[in-house]
Amino acid sequence: KPLSSLQGDLVVASYNLLAPCFVRPVDTRTGTVQEFAAFRWCDDAVLDWPTRRNALTQALGQIAQNCERAPDVICLQEVEFEKSGDKRVPPPWLTDALQGYEIVACKTSILERNAKRNARVVSKDVAVATAIAVGRGWRVAWTGEHNGTTEVLVGVEKDGVGAVAVASVHLDAGSEDKRVQLLGATLAAARARLGGGRNLRVIVASSCTHGHASRPPPSQRFWLSFVLLGRGALEQRKQSVGLLEQ
């Protein structure tokens, strides 16, 4: 849905960047490229990182700087975090594209553990994690206590508008049980922070890959990006919350 047609107090976008370190890497455990990371249906030129980086920079820049109605919150999946001193930070191309937004991720210690795993398995010293970018007058009120590489939960607030919990999650591509477990844990964490009851003001955004890298039929292969509204947000704000699925 075009951003220019979205109205409301809070607009949320979701975007999976596909971390370059996960594109056709040689897995040190097997000495080969794992089938799910082979992307056999894609031409090399499409997966070329400089080409993809330029396209992502342009796309995110257009979304973030949309003059008519840019999103207030952008949920990101598969962000590569680079080493900078004793911290892990988003890459410069991403922060440039999202100027004016605060990018929130999990703790540095968790990112470091993930980077060590990636260095060991795919020979890349980068952490890959979900993140949330908050801007356009909204501010981060709090961050979830159990944020990790596959889920980040934050509370966002703005003068004149009540606080809302927003989560960016990266769902497991191969296990329905793991997807349900992660969503359930995320909603439970939001409820614990916001208080009990059914009137939960939470938005969960994610992407999920379904299918196989050997190029299954189109009917069995798709990228899914969705935004899930909590019951309270859906009932109370269905006229004032705009959603963008990217």
pLDDT of res. 95: 94
244 band by pLDDT with thresholds 50, 70 and 90: very low
Beta-ladder partners of 14: 75
CB 144 within 8 A of CB 189: yes
State mean pLDDT over 29-38.
89
pLDDT of res. 194: 83
Token pair, residue 86, equals 């004793």
State mean pLDDT over 117-141.
93
198 band by pLDDT with thresholds 50, 70 and 90: low
Tell me the whole-structure pTM to 2 decimals. 0.81
State the SS3 of 134-191: ECCCCEEEEECCCCCCCEEEEEEEECCEEEEEEEEEECCCCCHHHHHHHHHHHHHHHH
